[in-house]
Structure 1
Amino acid sequence: MLRTIGNRLLLLIPTLLGLSILLFLWVRSLPGGPAVALLGERATPEAVERINELYGFNRPVLEQYIVWLGRLVTGDFGASIETGRAVLDEFWRRFPATVELSVAALIIAVGIGIPLGYWAARHHGRLSDHAAIVFSLIGITIPVFFLAFLLKYVFAVQLGWLPSDGRQDPRIDATHPTGFYVLDGILTGEFDAAWDAILHLILPAIALGTIPLAIIVRITRASVLEVQNSDYVRTGRAKGISTGTLRQRFILRNAMLPVITTVGLQVGLLLAGAILTETVFAFPGIGSFMANAIQARDFPVLQGFIIFIAVIYALINLTVDVSYSFIDPRVRVS
């Protein structure tokens, strides 16, 4: 197991190196540039040249990449062109917000998706099964930004049940030692602040979690159907094993491997989908800041944030792979 983890971590090095090359070239291919975006109407050729000289954007691309990679290895991700603060500081300031939103969306997706998919498989061919299939198809086809605007308009603007944007009511004077607003409210005993943070999470979490929920429903349903029609399950029924034991020890446990793989992949999609969701709900996380960085052509922020997200995504996939051995002993043996 330790050797497998070590090999996967070593493979992460060439993966990130290849990503850094593609990322560096993609950022440089964006139309316009940091100088034009920063100067706006004052973007005269002389002013643009001064900005490019200041940040080294007028040097050859290969030289720029080598300098950036050398700083990256030492942990220096540069500074944001727009704010002037270190990229690393900007990332950690906004990372808790995106994690909180992604965890809330994942709880919705897993908490509803797995039971609904299992229910559909148990009632295969019935009305409830067809309803679950239709629900999953609708969830996959609705764009995130459209659903976000729809939820915001109905539940925040028209009904006024939930907040329309932000992470917390600005009138609440709360302390945030960790940056995770819900957790901070619980740790400090400011339960009104924790509840307000939860209310601000509901709409963006639903919008962000709908597509993963629909995918998890379909994968769970297909996996449970495959397992419950397998030979060892039929053999267990023939031997008189109770239905509850069959469901818990044979069907669910063996059906969870593809579901866990899907959940691990959805975490990366949640981080990517957060850009649209956070922008619509003015949620101050990584996604909304990256959207602003794209408009401002803030190269250091785009490069640093995407590298961070890639590392997190790779570590999550490694965690999912390791969890296989605890769910299915056959994986550990192989």
Structure 2
Amino acid sequence: MNLVRFGIRSLTGLFAVSLASFAIITMMPADPVSIAIRVWNLPATDETVAALRVQWGLDQPLLPRYFRWLANFVTGDWGRSFRTGESVIAEFVERLPVSLSLGMAGLALAIVLAIPLGFFAAAYPRGLADRFSRALSVFVQAVPGFWLGLVLHWVLGVQLRWIRPFANDWTAIVLPVLLVALHSVAVLARVYRRDLTETAAQPHFRTALAKGLSERQALWRHGHRGAIYALLAAVRSEAGWVIGSTATMEILFGLPGISQFLVQSIAARDQMVLQAYVMVIAVWMLIVNGGAYLAMRLLDPRLA
């Protein structure tokens, strides 16, 4: 039953996001017809302007335009870019693998690294792992990702030549993935550590120690499951940060993802691209939330 409610809430949220974003983007202080005429070098005649407005539905009120756009969007017709004249869905399909691989790899790497870091930070309070995770958490909050990316690009790519950031192979994405994961590693490790520390203060943990388990064994057996639950809950909020980090890395390293395409489209007030980007991001958040929710259900059957 919870799954049904989750699905209904998700669809309702997508509908609300699509309507709000469509209204805001439509009210932007720019005329897409004027922009298209200028970019495509079309004659600025009354007939041309009227034809484009009818073709794009700009001659209709807001709600009929929205429902027409929504019906087309659901059936795979995302319109044409005012800037390039190409199909928006074709542009996104071409660029989406870069963004998805960067964001998903960064988030997955963060989870993999956060578990051992958080575990040893909890097992050895005020030890090296605990101090490192705390320092890393402060560092990523204080240092902008784009600045750190520029510094690492210069050190690792120019001075040491360990990587080739702008090469047309897999090495071009190594540093961006690490930078996307960096912030989430710090946050998730501290969340994981905090939950393990709370477990260590419970009576059943002291009972496990009295039965002969070492502190690390007791933490893993009796605290890991609950700590993973807390970590997955944090992943749902970190997914939003990953979007911003992915966009920054795409622009910084010249990766041809959808965020770079979006930045190029903002100046042209390319409404179709902006609306499609909002919906893609909303679906990304829905997928991450859904995946985390299903994993949390496996850990805690009471959610079923």
- Structures share fold, TM-score greater than 0.5: yes
Paired position in structure 2 for 1:26: 24
SS in 2 for 1:296: coil
Q: Distance in 2 between matches of 1:32 and 1:154?
A: 43
Measure how far apart 1:111 and its partner are. Answer: 2.7
The C-alpha deviation readout for 1:152-195, integer Å capped at 9, x for no partner, is: 22222343332233xx52xxxxxxxxxxxxxxxxxxxxxxxxxx
CA 79–234 in structure 1, closer or farther in 2 if over 3 Å, else same: same
CA 275–33 in structure 1, closer or farther in 2 if over 3 Å, else same: farther
User: Which amino acid in 2 is paired with 1:147?
Assistant: L
Q: Distance in 2 between matches of 1:84 and 1:222?
A: 52
Paired position in structure 1 for 2:190: 218
- Pick aligned residue for 1:248 from 193, 206, 220: 220
Say whether the 8 Å CA contact 1:34–1:299 is kept in structure 2: yes
SS in 2 for 1:83: coil
User: Which amino acid in 2 is paired with 1:10?
Assistant: I
SS in 2 for 1:146: helix
CA 160–57 in structure 1, closer or farther in 2 if over 3 Å, else same: farther
Paired position in structure 1 for 2:5: 7
User: Which amino acid in 1 is paired with 2:56?
Assistant: Y
The C-alpha deviation readout for 1:88-138, integer Å capped at 9, x for no partner, is: 222222121112112321233223222222222222134542332112110
Paired position in structure 1 for 2:63: 62
1:269 aligned to 2:241?
yes
TM-score norm. by structure 1 comes to 0.80
Q: Distance in 2 between matches of 1:58 and 1:272?
A: 35
148-157 or 96-105: which moved more? 148-157
SS in 1 for 2:267: helix
Say whether the 8 Å CA contact 1:216–1:262 is kept in structure 2: yes
CA 314–231 in structure 1, closer or farther in 2 if over 3 Å, else same: same
Q: Distance in 1 between matches of 2:2 and 2:187?
A: 29
Measure how far apart 1:54 and its partner are. Answer: 4.8
Instruction: Report the aligned-residue RMSD.
Output: 2.7
CA 245–122 in structure 1, closer or farther in 2 if over 3 Å, else same: closer
Measure how far apart 1:329 and its partner are. Answer: 4.3
Measure how far apart 1:315 and its partner are. Answer: 2.5
Q: Percent identity, please.
A: 28
Q: Distance in 1 between matches of 2:179 and 2:43?
A: 42
Measure how far apart 1:246 and its partner are. Answer: 1.6
User: Which amino acid in 2 is paired with 1:21?
Assistant: L
The C-alpha deviation readout for 1:26-75, integer Å capped at 9, x for no partner, is: 21243434345442697997589465555343543334223212323433
- Pick aligned residue for 1:227 from 181, 184, 199: 199
CA 144–25 in structure 1, closer or farther in 2 if over 3 Å, else same: farther
Q: Distance in 1 between matches of 2:204 and 2:191?
A: 21
SS in 1 for 2:125: coil
SS in 1 for 2:132: helix
SS in 1 for 2:6: helix
User: Which amino acid in 2 is paired with 1:6?
Assistant: V
Say whether the 8 Å CA contact 1:5–1:318 is kept in structure 2: no
Paired position in structure 2 for 1:131: 132
Measure how far apart 1:80 and its partner are. Answer: 1.8
CA 226–9 in structure 1, closer or farther in 2 if over 3 Å, else same: same
User: Which amino acid in 1 is paired with 2:270?
Assistant: D
1:146 aligned to 2:147?
yes
Measure how far apart 1:283 and its partner are. Answer: 0.6
User: Which amino acid in 2 is paired with 1:15?
Assistant: G
5+ residue gaps, structure 1, are 170-195
SS in 1 for 2:297: helix
5+ residue gaps, structure 2, are none
SS in 1 for 2:69: helix
CA 129–245 in structure 1, closer or farther in 2 if over 3 Å, else same: closer
Question: Map of 1:159-238 to 2, 5 A cutoff?
Answer: 159-165=160-166, 168-169=167-168, 196-197=169-170, 199-238=171-210
Q: Distance in 2 between matches of 1:126 and 1:208?
A: 26
Q: Distance in 2 between matches of 1:87 and 1:268?
A: 23
CA 132–245 in structure 1, closer or farther in 2 if over 3 Å, else same: closer
User: Which amino acid in 2 is paired with 1:239?
Assistant: K
Say whether the 8 Å CA contact 1:120–1:221 is kept in structure 2: yes
Task: State the aligned residue count.
Answer: 301
Say whether the 8 Å CA contact 1:278–1:285 is kept in structure 2: yes
47-56 or 57-66: which moved more? 47-56
CA 330–56 in structure 1, closer or farther in 2 if over 3 Å, else same: closer
Say whether the 8 Å CA contact 2:123–2:216 is kept in structure 1: no
CA 243–128 in structure 1, closer or farther in 2 if over 3 Å, else same: closer
User: Which amino acid in 1 is paired with 2:61?
Assistant: P
Paired position in structure 2 for 1:257: 229
Measure how far apart 1:242 and its partner are. Answer: 4.5
